A and B are shown apart, each in its own frame.
Chain A
Amino acid sequence: MAARVGVVTFPGSLDDRDAARAVRTAGGEPVSLWHGDADLKGVDAVVLPGGFSYGDYLRCGAIARFAPIMSEIVPAAQSGDLPVLGICNGFQVLCESHLLPGALTRNAGQRFICRDQPIRMTATDTAWTGAYRAEQELLIPLKSNEGNYTADTATLDKLEAEGRVVLRYAGQTPNGSRRDIAGVTNEHRNVVGLMPHPEHAISALTGPSVDGLGFFTSVLAHLTGERPVAAGAVAR
């Protein structure tokens, strides 16, 4: 039976259907989770999708953090059991929930950026990145207004020392992120947050590459304990 991966819909979530499509394309069964229900429906992993939860008129992700569904997700994620992927707004929610360190602030250029962004894979030992090769370069859409990753120097040093920087922007940072960080993981490596949108890079017809599919195949392999399919085979 296919692994069941929950995709949370907050009011204002936008890429929830895309995340569900990516789960399905990777071979999993997407399960829709509603922000107002403190019910994980027995899913094996969770994706917090992109969008503007509750309009994000306050700080991005600041309200979503208090949604009933988060009261189920946070403890399960903290224990290291539940794989959780936060994409863009989902990453912001994970930071606001203190499941991941740091914060995402306004892009250095003060403008929304949508572009096909080269990024570099730097941690393949997480629940969501096993299918990739270390230092593999990926081309994945970045689309955000508040993607500027920041944390204090001690935190950044700790993340680097523990190998918890999952992705870095290749070339010049597009949004001012400290140390070019595009994604990080927690100490158990089950929670990953990233600003680029792998769910928009699963088909050559609708995306710039298929480089994003590896995140979803990785978690399915992680859940079944299988050896992940090398993303080189998946992705190029």
Chain B
Amino acid sequence: MTETSQLDTVSRAETSPDTPQPFAELGMKDDEYARVRTILGRRPTSAELAIYSVMWSEHCSYKSSKTHLRQFGAKAPHSDALLVGMGENAGVVDVGDGYAVTFKIESHNHPSYVEPHQGAATGVGGIVRDILTMGARPVAVMDALRFGPAEAADTHRVLPGVVSGISFYGNCLGLPNIGGELGFDPGYSANPLVNALCVGVMRHDGIKLAQAPGPGNKVVLFGATTGPDGIGGASVLASANFDAESHAKRPSVQVGDPFLEKLLIECSLELFERDLVVGIQDLGAAGVSCATTELAAGGTGGMRIALDRVPLRDPRLTPEEILMSESQERMMAVVEPGKLEAFLDTCAKWDILATVIGEVTEVTGEEDQRGGRLVMTWHGETVVDLPPRTASDEGPVYERPYHKPADQDALQTDTPARLARPVSDAELREQVLTVVGSPGICDAGWVTEQYDRYVLGNTVLATPHDSGVIRVADTGDRGVALATDGNGRYTRLDPYAGTQLAYAEAYRNVAATGARPLAVTNCLNFGSPEDPGVMWQFAEATRGLADACQELGTPVTGGNVSFYNQTGATAIHPTPVIGVLGVIDDVNTRLTSAFPAATEGASIVLLGETREELGGSAWASVIHDHLGGQPPRVDLAAEAALARVLGEAAATGLAAAAHDLSDGGLAVALAESALRGGVGCAVQVAGDAVTALFSESAARALVVVHPGSEAALTELCDRHGVPATAIGTVGGTAVRITHPAGSVDLPLPELRATYEAALPAALDAV
């Protein structure tokens, strides 16, 4: 398809029905290809085949997951805060005072493994454009990362590149990185998880949707030129219909230009501000194919595009390649003819290339019935003539078979009860230090110091606190809090409960700053959907999340599914990463996780109930390399009650600090709060020391009470039915823990050295 003389036009397709087509190489099944032929009433042209193959891919169509994701809508709780729900580029939530917030998390796992720096960088770029497309100014990013063992050679190849990519792109874009996760597990060897989240702020009346109303309106492509980067992935590169030689050296991972994206953000916001666009879509996966079909489907259904007008960085690109290119930093807008000049002037001001490539057209009633009509020409000849809704909305849907993996019951039967307990205080002390210094728990400064958390000047809380908190606008005190969580060990043991625990932890993290949880996004990282065991994990996970969101009244506003996270036959631990967004009325009241040095002697209260729950815990994993049993029990009503207590304690000024309990239990929470505040504590715990220190029972948090407010906190906890136990006081230069059989004393300098040295020691070792 490199010679114009061989251009596969619609008329040629009509007269050559038997031409063999490389649909299988493009990743399409026989029946999918047959369905395309039925829709079109002829064989597709090679350009049409390109469009259907990418639009009906797992990545774009959610064909394996759709049937499960529908629960998020079907079970969605009513929420007055939801302005735009699932299905758009990102959901939009009302946070009050006329402000709306949009947020979403997305994976870039495979590209980040192939080319860590650019893979991770363009992951940030893509999610930022999704947020921008809604009409919002992107105001912060977060990233949830998981790698193989910290000391593994491949982790040393992948992790520094991923972090430098996020750092390079996010910092250069001027977006504060306010938090995230860093995890290590052998299960992520050769399949790291790189999930990027972006949040944006807009006024209510500023919401933009992917639509193309109004015949005669112009379709404008603006931003970067289109190149051969990121074309369709490996299956397409193998296509016999493309010139294999010319593709051999082309990267399938896109290359990012954050400077151009920064200009694109400022330019787009000015275009929105001046009301110069009626519809807008970013170009991400499936590039021009996706943007044109989705914009057309969201409007009249009619659109005519001159593909030869797309500005190229490589003039040899064919129509198919243009349709499939995933070159970064591109946007598509629908503009009224009367506003076109002003639109182009604004782009020129920001040195942004803008090109009219087509227009919105009328459709007949009959065409509308078929799904609209999208026509594309190449130097005057028609190469695409298809109903766009059939590509964007009516892709295949699969009911993949699923059943519980054979080893699931055995895994749950192998409980941590058989694990050896420490026999002395010296051993207990050593275990605390080992857990605090383990790569998934220790200080992540090696990573987070590479991210700008200050730019834009509205960062109220960032890493390492429980949530990132951003002031919505300079002119007010309103803020939003965001946290992401996921625990692959829990989800492996029980995908339903594990997903609810991930959600509960993010919910609790948001609440621990004093914010009210409002809405949820998710990035569902799983193995191959063709494996019934993986599909069972997925079905259980989605059911768990939908049920939990329904119970606690926080709708899912959008998200992303990442399948095929496996090397060979071994899938990753199922890892749903759940993002929760909350609102805080006055950011000045936010609580941090640091013990306040100024309130020496203040009481530390443990909220919630501690049970012996060590299945999937950090203690079982780090000390015993064990994974088995049941994850901690889920009690969503207790999570909601705890969140209400934390919110009221912050708003009324009863609390001086709060920190949620999760990985590593009470021992880790005390160590973190002490190190962050630079002041120690003395606490007494009851019962078995391992349970008291390392159990990961959910719905728990530490609160430091302002002296004099102890009775008020007790009353507040009683009112909401939250168990509260005063366990000690802030003060001193060590974390001292007394238990019925003895005590453990951890001087802060030693604790700090263990906490801070672990990651550099693992990562800087050559």
Residues of A within 8 A of B (CB): 11-12, 14-15, 17-18, 21, 50-52, 54-57, 111-115, 141, 143, 145, 197, 199-200, 205-207
> Do A206 and B172 contact each other (CB < 8 Å), given the known contacts A11-B259, A55-B257?
no
In the complex, what residue of chain B is closest to A54 when comparing beta carbons? B259
Q: How far is the CB of B532 from chain A (nearest CB, A)?
A: 44
Which residues of B lie under 8 Å from residue A112 when comparing CB positions? 164, 167-168, 171, 449-452
Most B CB contacts (10 A, CB to CB) among A18, A21, A112, A113 go to A112
A205 pairs with B454, CB closer than 8 A:
no
A18 B457 Cβ-Cβ under 8 A: yes
**Could you list 19 A-B pairs, sorted by A, with CB under 8 Å?**
A14-B262, A18-B454, A18-B455, A50-B455, A52-B172, A55-B260, A111-B164, A111-B449, A112-B168, A112-B449, A112-B451, A114-B452, A141-B454, A143-B171, A145-B171, A200-B457, A205-B471, A206-B457, A206-B459
Query: Which A residues lie within 8 Å of B449 (CB)?
Result: 111-115
Per the bound structure, the CA–CA distance linking A111 and B76 in Å amounts to 44
Q: Which residues of B contact A206 (CB under 8 A)?
A: 454, 457-460, 471
B14: Cβ under 8 A from any A Cβ: no
Q: Which residues of A contact B417 (CB under 8 A)?
A: none
- B233 interfacial contact with A, CB 8 Å: no
Judge if B27 is at the interface, Cβ distance under 8 Å. Answer: no
- List 18 additional contacts besides A14-B172, A52-B259, A114-B451; criterion CB under 8 Å: A11-B262, A14-B262, A15-B457, A17-B457, A50-B455, A51-B174, A52-B171, A55-B257, A56-B172, A56-B259, A112-B168, A113-B450, A114-B453, A114-B454, A143-B171, A200-B457, A205-B588, A206-B459
Tell whether B564 is near chain A: CB-to-CB under 8 Å: no
The reply to whether A143 and B454 form a contact with Cβ atoms under 8 Å apart is yes
Contact call A17/B454, Cβ cutoff below 8 A: no
Name which residue of chain B comes closest to A141, CB basis.
B454
On whether A197 and B454 interact (CB within 8 A), knowing A51-B174, A114-B449, the answer reads yes
Instruction: Specify which of A52, A54, A115 lies most central, judged by the most chain B CB atoms within 10 Å of its CB.
Output: A52
Residue of B nearest to A202 (CB): B457
Contact with A along B430-453 (1 / 0, CB 8 A): 000000000000000000111111
Expressed in whole angstroms, the minimum distance between the Cβ of A40 and any Cβ of chain B is: 20
With A11-B263, A205-B587 in contact, is A55–B172 under 8 Å at CB?
A: yes
**B168 to chain A: which residues have CB within 8 Å?**
112
**B99 interface residue per 8 A CB criterion:** no
Instruction: Judge whether A11 and B451 touch: CB under 8 Å.
Output: no
Bitwise, B156-180 to A at CB < 8 A (1) or not (0) is 0000000010011001111000000
Contact between chains at A17 and B456 (CB < 8 Å)? yes
Within 8 Å of chain A (Cβ to Cβ): is B394? Answer: no
Return chain A residues, CB-CB under 8 Å to B351: 11
B residues less than 8 Å from A114 (CB atoms): 448-454
Of all chain B residues, the one with the shortest Cβ separation from A145 is: B171
Q: Which B453-512 residues sit within 8 Å CB-CB of chain A?
A: 453-460, 471, 474
Closest 9 CB pairs of A and B: A55-B259, A14-B174, A18-B457, A200-B454, A112-B450, A52-B172, A143-B452, A112-B167, A141-B454
In chain B, positions 254-279 with a C-beta closer than 8 Å to chain A are 257-260, 262-263
> What are the residues of chain A within 8 A of B448 when measuring CB–CB?
114
Which chain B residue has the least Cβ–Cβ distance from A143?
B452
Q: Do B457 and A11 have beta carbons less than 8 Å apart?
A: no
With a CB–CB cut-off of 8 A, which chain A residues contact B451? 112, 114
Asked if B350 lies at the interface with its beta carbon under 8 angstroms from chain A, I say yes
A115 to B504, CA, bound (A): 31
Closest chain B residue, CB of each to CB of A18: B457
Contacts of A54 in B (CB 8 A): 259
In the complex, how many angstroms separate the beta carbon of B475 from the nearest chain A beta carbon?
11
Residue of A nearest to B445 (CB): A115
Interface size on B, residues (CB 8 A): 32
CA gap between A54 and B260 in the complex, in Å = 9
Per the bound structure, the CA–CA distance linking A200 and B458 in Å amounts to 10
Q: How far is the CB of A201 from chain B (nearest CB, A)?
A: 9
Q: Shortest distance in angstroms between B391's beta carbon and chain A's nearest beta carbon?
A: 35
Q: With both chains docked as a complex, state the minimum distance between the C-beta of A27 and any C-beta of chain B, in angstroms.
A: 16
Q: Which residues of A contact B257 (CB under 8 A)?
A: 55
Q: Judging by beta carbons under 8 Å apart, are B457 and A21 in contact?
A: yes
How far, in angstroms, from A18 to B545 measured CA to CA in the complex?
39
Q: How far is the CB of A180 from chain B (nearest CB, A)?
A: 19
Residues of B with C-beta under 8 A to A205? 460, 471, 587-588
CB proximity of B454 to chain A, nearest CB, Å: 4
CB pair A57 B459 closer than 8 Å:
no
Contacting residue for B172 out of A12, A15, A113, A199, CB 8 A: A12
Residues on B with beta carbons closer than 8 Å to the beta carbon of A199: 457
Which residues from A are CB-within-8-Å of B259? Answer: 11-12, 52, 54-57
Q: How far is the CA of A114 from the CA of B444 in the complex (A)?
A: 13
> A14: nearest residue on chain B (CB-CB)?
B174
Q: Is the CB of A12 within 8 A of B262?
A: yes
Q: How far is the CA of A113 from the CA of B446 in the complex (A)?
A: 9
Nearest residue, chain A, Cβ from B173: A14
Residue of A nearest to B170 (CB): A112
Give bound CA distance, A52 to B171, whole Å.
9
Residues in B with CB closer than 8 Å to A207 are 454
B contact residues around A17 at 8 Å (CB): 456-457
* Residues of B contacting A18 in the complex (Cβ-Cβ under 8 angstroms): 454-457
Measured CA separation A54–B172 after assembly (Å): 10
> Which of B259, B263, B587 has the most chain A CB atoms inside 10 A of its CB?
B259
Instruction: Write the nearest CB–CB distance from B162 to chain A, whole angstroms.
Output: 13
Nearest Cβ in chain A — how far from B471, in angstroms?
A: 7
Residues of B near A197 (CB, < 8 A) are 454
Write out, one digit per residue, whether chain B residues 236-261 have a CB within 8 A of any chain A CB (1) or not (0): 00000000000000000000011110
The minimal Cβ–Cβ distance linking A57 to chain B, given in whole angstroms, is 7
- Closest approach, in angstroms, between the C-beta of A152 and any C-beta of chain B? 30
Smallest CB gap from A204: residue in B: B588
Residues in B neighbouring A143, C-beta threshold 8 A: 171, 452, 454-455
Residues of B within 8 A of A115 (CB): 449
Chain A residues with Cβ under 8 A from B350's Cβ?
A: 11
A residues near B260, Cβ cutoff 8 Å: 55
A206 to B551, CA, bound (A): 35
B539-551 contact mask (Cβ, 8 Å, vs A): 1 or 0: 0000000000000
Residues of A within 8 Å of B474, CB to CB, are 21
Interface centre among A17, A50, A143, A145 (most CB of B within 10 A): A143
Residue of A with least CB distance to B163: A111
Residue on B with the closest CB to A208?
B454
With A52-B259, A112-B450 in contact, do A14 and B167 touch (Cβ < 8 Å)?
no
- What residue of chain A has the Cβ atom nearest to residue B351's Cβ? A11
A111 to B161: give the CA distance in the assembly, Å: 11
Complex Cα gap A56–B174 (Å): 13
Q: Mark B341-377, 1 if CB is under 8 A from A, else 0.
A: 0000000001100000000000000000000000000
Query: Which chain B residues border A51 with CB–CB below 8 Å?
Result: 174
Tell which of A11, A50, A114, A200 has the most Cβ of chain B within 10 Å.
A114
A17 to B587, CA, bound (A): 20
With A54-B259, A113-B450, A114-B449 as given contacts, are A15 and B460 in contact (CB-CB < 8 Å)? no
Q: How far is the CA of A207 from the CA of B462 in the complex (A)?
A: 11
Chain B 720-752, CB-CB to A under 8 Å as 1, else 0, gives: 000000000000000000000000000000000
Return A144 CB to nearest CB of chain B, in Å. Answer: 9
CA gap between A194 and B373 in the complex, in Å: 58
Q: Could you tell me the distance between the alpha carbons of A48 and B263 in the complex, rounded to whole angstroms?
A: 18
Complex CA gap A145/B164 in Å reads 11
- CA A145 – CA B451 in complex, angstroms? 10
Min CB distance B437 to A, Å, is 21
| Most chain A beta carbons < 10 A, residue from B449, B455, B457 | B457
Most buried by A among B173, B174, B459: B174
Instruction: Give A165 Cβ to nearest chain B Cβ, in Å.
Output: 25
A15 CA to B459 CA, complexed, in Å: 13
The answer on a CB contact under 8 Å between A15 and B455 is yes
| Least CB separation from A15: chain B residue | B455
- Measured between beta carbons, the chain A residues less than 8 angstroms from B450 are 111-114
Contact with A along B634-666 (1 / 0, CB 8 A): 000000000000000000000000000000000
